[in-house]
């Protein structure tokens, strides 16, 4: 089955690298017009050029908008820029996340606790709220939240990060119930994926870590992008409020 997003407009946060860039690339290749967002415009422009070069003849247009995902004003401005450039927002991917602290959750300082919450949970809500207010309330749409299997389990070194990801799952379900049937809201729960953000968890010991994964390898950004493409497409049109685990069997 070929999954296409022709005629759709997608806005992807945290899109300059890793999972976000892979999702944006998959959407563009499937025909969507895509707005890439992250904090640094240089990184965004590099990602855009790479995506456009690889997308092919049936690709949509790709634009960039620099924005801090944890800043409500920046979120509103980026959604507005997407509406102005492409006419609306059909798909919002809340991918941007941060984890500035590793260690026992009980010892975390409040500034880093607040920063994690502001980006991972409040940020996801604000972007969804702005997409709703500026576009989706009128034309419908689709929200894909990138959570984590950490939201379904316990790991002591990244406890507060996992708390925000668990809360994101409940936010997903709550918005799915509120906004149906015009807007679908789903979440993806990746396992350990080889990204820069997760580098401390796998670099230097990838082989030993992979032994604990039933499918015998760590995830690639494309694994999550494939799931995000499915959730954005009509192939998942009877799905909302779901948590799609993509983890190579790690939770087993």
Q: Which pLDDT value is given to residue 212?
A: 87
Give per-residue pLDDT as tens, 207-242.
778 888 999 999 999 999 999 999 999 999 999 999
Answer whether 159's CB lies under 8 Å from 209's CB: no
Alpha helices in 150-197 (DSSP H): 159-179
E-strand spans in the chain?
Answer: 9-13, 33-38, 62-66, 91-94, 141-146, 183-190, 243-246
φ/ψ (deg, to 5) at 66: -75, 130
146, 232, 245: which is closest to 184 by C-alpha? 232
Q: How many helices (H) and strands (E) does the chain have?
A: 10, 7
Per the annotation, the verdict on 101 as an active-site residue is: no
The residue from 27, 101, 132, 161 that is catalytic is: 161
Give per-residue pLDDT as tens, 174-210.
999 999 999 999 999 999 998 877 766 666 677 778 8
Give per-residue pLDDT as tens, 137-176.
999 999 999 999 999 999 889 999 999 999 999 999 999 9
Half-sphere exposure of 63 (CA within 13 A, CB side): 14
Going along the chain from its start, the domains and CATH numbers come out as: 9-246 (3.40.50.720)
pTM of the model: 0.96
């Amino acid at each position: 089955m070929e999954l296409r997003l022709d005629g759709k407009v997608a806005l992807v946060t945290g899109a300059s690298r890793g999972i976000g860039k892979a999702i944006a690339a998959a959407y563009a290749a499937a025909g969507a017009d895509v707005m890439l967002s992250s904090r640094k415009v240089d990184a965004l422009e590099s990602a855009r050029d790479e995506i456009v070069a690889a997308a092919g003849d049936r690709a949509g247009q790709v634009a960039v908008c620099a924005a801090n995902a944890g800043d409500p004003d920046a979120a509103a401005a980026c959604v507005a820029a997407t509406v102005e450039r492409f006419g609306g927002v059909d798909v919002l991917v809340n991918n941007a996340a941060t984890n500035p602290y590793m260690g026992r959750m009980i010892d975390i300082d409040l500034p880093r606790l607040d920063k994690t919450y502001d980006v991972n949970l409040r940020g996801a809500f604000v972007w969804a709220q702005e997409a709703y207010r500026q576009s989706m309330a009128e034309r419908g749409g689709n929200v894909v939240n990138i959570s984590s299997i950490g939201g379904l389990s316990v790991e002591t070194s990244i406890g507060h990060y996992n708390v925000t990801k668990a809360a994101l799952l409940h936010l997903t379900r709550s918005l799915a119930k509120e906004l149906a049937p015009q807007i679908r809201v789903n979440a993806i729960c990746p396992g350990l994926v080889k990204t820069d953000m997760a580098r401390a968890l796998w670099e230097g010991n990838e082989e030993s870590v992979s032994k604990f994964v039933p499918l015998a390898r760590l995830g690639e950004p494309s694994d999550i992008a494939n799931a995000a493409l499915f959730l954005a497409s009509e192939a998942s049109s009877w799905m909302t409020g779901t948590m799609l685990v993509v983890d190579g069997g790690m939770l087993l």
